[in-house]
Chain A
Amino acid sequence: MKNKIYYILILIFLFSIDNITAQDPMGLYYMNTIPQSSHLNPAMQPRAHSYISLISVTENFKSDAAFKNLVQQNGKEWVLPYHKDYSFRNLKMATGKSLDFHNNIDIGLLGFGFRLGSNYFTFDTKVKTNFNLGIPYDFISVAERGFPNDKTFNLSPLKTNVFGYIETSLGFSREINDNLTVGAKIKPLIGLTAANTKTDNFTLHTSRDYWEVDYNGSVSTSGPFDFTITKDEVTGDYDAKFEFYEDDEIVDYFTSFDNLGFAADFGVDYKINHRWSVSASLVDFGYIRWKSNDSYNFNFKYSFDGIEGEGIKEEFDDELDKILDEIKESFSHAERDNYTTNLAPQLYVGTQFEVTPYFDLGLLSRNIFYKDNFRQDFNISANFQPYSFMSANINYSLRPRGGNGLGTALMFLLGPLQFYTALDYIPTKYSDLYEKGNEEQIGIMFPNARNINFKVGLNLIFNRHGYKDRPMLYKY
C-alpha cells in the first residue's frame, strides 16, 4: 500500500510539472545495473560481478539558452533580439556573461571490470572530444543598442575550444565497511588534437571621441599540422599558414605521445541506514599538457580617434594608410611553448532513498566548473530495477537558469549482452515556425530544448543476477 502511495505521489508530482523540457543525463547515476554508472561516481560498484564494455557512444550538447530564450514571446507573437520589445534582461538571465555552447562526443572503446571481495576494479578506454564556444553577452548586446556613446563592451568571455583525447582509466572501489564505500580512478590522457583560444582581456570601447580595442589572448593548436603566423618586419603584414602533415608524419605525430595529461576521479558512498544513503564524487579533475603545438600569444591595443592630417586633398589614401600601419604596429604576437588544457571537473552530490529493493528515489546535484563559468543541475529520479533483464529510470532535471526536462534510462539484458540507453532530452514539445504575415511554415522547433543528450552502449555482463547478497528479483 505504502509503495502504491509513493507511486501515485510521483505521478502527481510529474503531472504537475509544467513546461517539461529537456534535461541533463544524470539518470545514469543511480543505475548501478549499468556498469557505466561508475563513470559518474567511482565509488558506485556495479551490480555485475564482472563485465566487458564493448562500445558506447555519448553525445552531449548543451546550450545556455533555448530557442525560447533567444526568441521571446510578446503577446501572441515571438520577437527577435532586434525587436523593440525584446527583453535583454531575460536573455542575460539565461546566458549569464557568456552564451556558451558545449558539445561532447565520447566513444567508449574497450573496457572491463570485476569484483574481488570488497574491491571492484575497472578499466576503460575512450576517445573523447570536446567543443566549447563562448559568445560574450556584451557581443550579443550590440543587438540591443548598437554602439552608443561612452560604452565599454567586455568581450573577454569569448572563447573557442576544441580538443580530442584518449582517456584510459583505471578504477578501484572498496567497501570499507557495511556503510562506507570509497572509490577512485586514475586516468592517463593522451591528447590527439586541439585548438583553443584563451582570452585574458578583450574590451571594446565606443564613444564619439574614440574607439578602442584592447585584446590579450592566445591561440593554441596541436595536431598533425603546422600552423604558423609570421609578421613581415618591413611591411608589418601578417601571414598565416595552415598545412597538414604528410601521411607518414601524421602517423609519427599520433604515435609520439607528446601531449600527455592526467585526470582523476574520486567518490564516496555512505549508507546512513538501510534506506538512506548519501554519495558524492569529483570527476574529470585533470589536464592535458600540449607539448607538440603551435601556439601564439597576441596583443592588440589600438585606439582610433579620427583621421589626422593636413593640406588640401581629394583623397585620404595617405591618412588611411597611416591608420592601417598603426593598426599593424599595434598588433604583436609571440610564440609560446607548451600550453595546458584543463578539463571541466564535475562535482556530484546526491542522496538515495530505497522504497523497495527494486524501487528507489534519488536526488542529485551536479556542478560543472568551466573556466569563466559554472553550471549547476538538480535531478530527481525514480529508479526501477524489478528484473535482472531490465531496469528503467525516469528522472526530472532542473537548471537554475531554466532548461528543465524529463529523462529516462533503459537497460535490457539478453543473455550476457546488455543494451542500455539513456536519453537526457525526450522531445516533449514542438512548435511549428512561421514568419508573421506569411502562411508558409518555415520549420519545426523544440522551443524549450537546451540540450541534446543521449548515451547508448553494449556490455557483456557476467554473474548478472547479482549484487552479491541482494537478489534483483522482486517478490511481492
Chain B
Amino acid sequence: MKKIINIFKIASFTLLLTAINSCKGDDFVINTDLSESNIYEASAPLIKYYKATLADAIEHIEDKRIFVDDEGVVNFSVTKDVDIVWDDLAKMKDVDFQRSYLMSEYNQGGDRYKIVEDISLNEHEDARYDSAYIAHGILRLSFDVPVDYKGDINITLPQFYPTITRSFYADGNNTDTYDFAINTQGHTLRFAHDDTYSLFNMILESDFEAVGDINDNLIMKYEYRNVEADGVFGYFGNRTAELKDQTQSIDEIKDILEYISFELQEIKYSLSTTNYIGAPFDLYATNIRFYDSSDNDDFKILKVEGNSEIKVSVESPKYNQYEIIPIYGEVTVDSKNSNVLDIANPFPEEIIADIVAVANPNGENVNKPNYYTGRDTLFAELEIKAPLMIKINEFTRKDTIDFDFRDLADNKRENIDFIDMANIYINIYNFLPFDMGANLYVIDERGVKLDDIFKDFKQILKSGDIVNGRLVDPETTEIVVELTKDKVLTYFDKSAKSIVLETKTSTINYNTDYVKIYDNYGIGAKISAEVKSQIPDIY
C-alpha cells in the first residue's frame, strides 16, 4: 500500500509540475507587413570602364559620308555621282536604202558588169572611223536582177577582214529576188574614207551569160542596222553632253544642326571624273547653287575666282588588249579660291549644278586616236567635304524626354514608396574637346518644374588641354544622380510627365580656336549604383 502511495506521489508530483507548465502560451501574431520592413542596401559596380570613340561610332553608323583621313581627322562629305552616257559617241549609223543601177552605166565591156556601192557608217560627219571590231551586225543584201540577164554574180566586201564574198547564179527571168544575210560578227571592218565618210564598199561583178535590155535596172536593197562594235578606232569628233540640275541633298543637316550647331574651319568642293572612254574630255560643273531653307529660300552661287564654273580635264585612258586603265581627274575648290566657306558653313541642304561634258575639246590628236571599247559612260562625282575642324560657341539645346512616372509605377503609390534612395555614380572620362554643362529637371504635364536634378548648367563634360592641336589626356567629371524617397513620392503625387535636358556646349577656346576632331576621340564612363529600399509588396 505504502509502495502504491509513494508511486502515486511521485507520478502526481511529476504530472502536476508538467501540467502547470504545460500551458498554452500567448498567441503568436506575426507581423508580415512589408511596409514595416528594414531598409536594405545594395551597392554594386556596373561599369568598370567603357569607352567609345568616334572611330567606333563611324564603324557602327556605316555611313560612307563620314570617314577618317590620313591624319586621323574625321571628315564629312556628301557626293553626287553623275554618269554621262556616250552611247552614240562611236555609233554605227543604221543603213537601210535601195538603189537602182542602170545596167548601161556599169558595163565593163562585153557582158561584164561591175557595180561599186559605198556604204557609210559614221553617224557624225566630223567623226572618222578607222576600224571597228564588229560584235553584232547582219548585212542584208537583196538583188532584183533585170529581165533576161543570167549568169554568175560575185559580191565582195573588201573592207571586211576576212574579206566577205558571196556568189550566186542570177536569172532575171526568175521573179524572185535574191536575198543574202551576211553575219559580220567577228569581222574587222577597215574603213575606206572619202572626204566626209567612213565607209565600206559593196562590189558586185558579173560576167553574164545572157543579157537583156541595157537600159534596164538592177535593183539592190541594203540593210545594216543595230551594228555593235567591241572596239571602234578613229576620231569621234567634238561632242557635247549636258546634264542639268544635278542635285546633292544633305537631308539630315537640319536635324544635325538642331542637335549641335557648329562652324567649320574649311569646306572643300570638288569635281572629279574617271574616264574609261578612249577620248579626252573636258568636264564642267556650272551654275553651282547652294540652297538653305533658312536663308529666305534664296540660292547662293558658288564663285570660283569670279566664275561659277569648275572645270576638270582628262585625257584618253591607256589601253592594252586586256584592260583599260582609266584616267582620273579632280579639281577642288576651297576657301582660298572660292566663296564656298561663306555660303556653305556648315553645310547647305542642297547643292545643284549643271554638268557639261565635251569630248575631244581640242579636236583630233593624230598621235592619240580615239577608241571605243563598249564602255560608254564618263563617270563624274561632285563632292562637298569638310574635315571636322570646328568651333562650337555655347550651343544650347533643350530636349524633352517622356517620363510618365505614374505610368511607370502602374498608378500605384505602393509600387514605389518602398524606395528609400537610389543613387547612380558616374565618372565620365571625356576625350572630346568639348565642355558641356547641363540642367536636368522633371516637369509635370503643364510644364511646371517639380525637381531639379542638375542645375546651373552643371558641368558634365570638361575638355582636356590641347597640345599641338590634339587632346592629350581625358578629363574626368564625377556626377551623382540622386533619387530620394521624397523625390520619388513627389514625382508620383505630382504626376511627373517629362524630363527636360538643357545643355550648353562649347569647344575649348571657342572664341579663337577651331578644334580638330580626331577619330580616336571619345568618351569613357565608370558607373556604379547604390540603392536602399524596403522589400516591395509584390502581392
Task: Indicate, yes or no, whether A interacts with B.
Answer: yes
Q: Is B446 in the interface zone, CB < 8 Å from A?
A: no
Nearest chain-A residue to B531 (Cβ)? Answer: A146
Which of A15, A83, A209, A431 is B38 in contact with, Cβ under 8 Å?
Answer: A83
Tell me whether A6 is interfacial, beta carbon within 8 Å: no
Q: Which of A79, A85, A146, A437 contacts B40 (CB 8 A)?
A: A146
Q: Does B211 contact A (CB under 8 A)?
A: no
Report if B322 contacts A (CB, 8 A): no
Category for how many chain B residues contact A: 35 or more
Min Cβ gap B167→A in Å is 77
Interface string of B53-66 (1 = CB under 8 A from A): 10011011000000
The residues of B that contact A145 with a CB separation of less than 8 Å are 38-41
Q: Residue of B at shortest CB range from A436?
A: B31
The CA of A471 and the CA of B47, in the complex, are separated in Å by 83
Tell me the residues in window 28-80 of chain A with beta carbons closer than 8 Å to chain B beta carbons: 71, 74, 76-80
Which residues of chain B (368-408) have a CB below 8 Å from chain A? none
- Knowing A306-B526, A312-B60, say if A147 contacts B41 (CB, 8 Å): yes
Q: A75: nearest residue on chain B (CB-CB)?
A: B31
- State which of B6-14, B154-162, B450-458 sits at the interface with chain A: B6-14
- Asked if A428 is at the interface of the complex by the 8 Å CB criterion, the answer is yes
What mask results when residues 40 to 54 of chain B are scored 1 for a CB within 8 Å of chain A, else 0? 111111111111110
> Is A208 part of the binding interface, using a Cβ–Cβ cutoff of 8 Å?
yes
Given known A-B contacts A145-B38, A429-B25, A430-B24, A306 and B10 have beta carbons under 8 A apart: no
Per-position contact with B for A437-456: 1 when CB-CB < 8 Å, else 0?
10000000101000000000
Report whether B43 and A148 are in contact in the complex, using a CB–CB cutoff of 8 Å.
yes
Q: A15: which B residues are within 8 A, CB to CB? A: 17, 20
For B11, give the chain A residue with the smallest CB separation.
A392
Q: Which residue of B lies closest to A206 (CB)?
A: B43
Cβ of A84 < 8 Å from any Cβ of B?
A: yes
Find chain A residues with CB under 8 A from B2 CB: 476
Q: How far is the CB of B124 from chain A (nearest CB, A)?
A: 56
* 0/1 string, A319-332, CB within 8 A of B gives 1: 00000000000000
Say yes or no: is B28 at the interface (Cβ < 8 Å to chain A).
Answer: yes
Query: Among the listed B6, B18, B30, which residue makes an inter-chain contact with A386, where contact means beta carbons less than 8 Å apart?
Result: B6
Does B528 belong to the interface (CB within 8 Å)? yes
Complex Cα distance, B23 from A210, in Å, reads: 53
| In the assembled complex, A394 has its CB within 8 A of some CB on chain B | yes
Considering the chains assembled together, what is the distance between the CA atoms of A211 and B45 in angstroms?
8
A308 to B49, Cβ gap below 8 A? Answer: yes
A129-162 contacts to B, CB under 8 A, are 143-150
Given that A80-B32, A312-B56 are known contacts, is A148 also in contact with B41, CB under 8 Å in the complex?
yes
Q: How many residues of A contact B (CB 8 A)?
A: 62
| Whole-angstrom distance between the Cβ of A304 and the nearest chain B Cβ | 7
A426 contacts partner chain B, Cβ-Cβ < 8 Å: yes
A210, B45: Cβ atoms closer than 8 Å: yes
Q: Is A348 an interface residue (CB 8 A)?
A: no
Q: How far is the CA of A74 from the CA of B526 in the complex (A)?
A: 44
B70 close to chain A: CB less than 8 A: no
Q: Which of A381-399 contact B (CB under 8 A)?
A: 384, 386-387, 390, 392, 394
Task: Contact check, B25 vs A436: say whether CB atoms are below 8 A apart.
Answer: no
Chain B residues, Cβ within 8 Å of A309: 50
- Residues on A with C-beta less than 8 A from B41 are 145-149
* Cβ-defined partner of B29 (8 Å) among A76, A208, A305: A76
**In the complex, A311 has a CB within 8 A of chain B:** yes
Choose from B18, B20, B36, B530 the contact partner of A84 (Cβ within 8 Å). B36
| Minimum distance in angstroms from A70 CB to a CB of chain B | 11
Which A residues are CB-close (under 8 A) to B30?
Answer: 71, 77-80, 433-436
Nearest CB in chain B: distance from A275 CB, A: 22
- Tell me the smallest distance from the CB of A82 to a CB of chain B, in Å: 5
Known: A83-B31, A211-B44. A387 touches B14 (CB 8 A): no
The answer on a CB contact under 8 Å between A429 and B10 is no
- Contact (Cβ within 8 A) A78 B31: yes
Which residues in B have their C-beta under 8 angstroms from that of A78? 28-31
Q: In the assembled complex, which residues on chain B have CB atoms less than 8 Å from the CB atom of A447?
A: 25, 28
Q: When the two chains form their complex, are residues A429 and B44 in contact, meaning their CB atoms are under 8 A apart?
A: no
- Report chain A residues within 8 Å CB of B323: none
**Shortest Cβ gap from B389 to chain A (Å):** 24
Instruction: Mark interface residues in A193-211 (1 if CB within 8 Å of B CB, else 0).
Output: 0000000000000111111
CA distance A85 to B25 in the complex (A): 22
Picked from B10, B20, B43, the residue with its CB within 8 Å of the CB of A208 is: B43
Is A408 among interface residues, defined by CB-CB distance under 8 A?
yes
List the interface of chain B (C-beta within 8 A of A).
2-3, 6-7, 10, 13-14, 17-18, 20-34, 36-53, 56-57, 59-60, 425, 526-530, 532, 535
**24 contacting pairs across A/B (C-beta < 8 A):** A11-B17, A77-B31, A82-B37, A84-B36, A145-B40, A149-B43, A208-B43, A307-B46, A307-B47, A307-B48, A308-B50, A310-B56, A384-B10, A386-B10, A406-B17, A406-B21, A428-B22, A429-B23, A429-B24, A430-B24, A432-B28, A433-B27, A435-B30, A436-B30
Closest 8 CB pairs of A and B: A306-B48, A146-B40, A312-B60, A306-B45, A149-B43, A148-B41, A208-B528, A431-B25
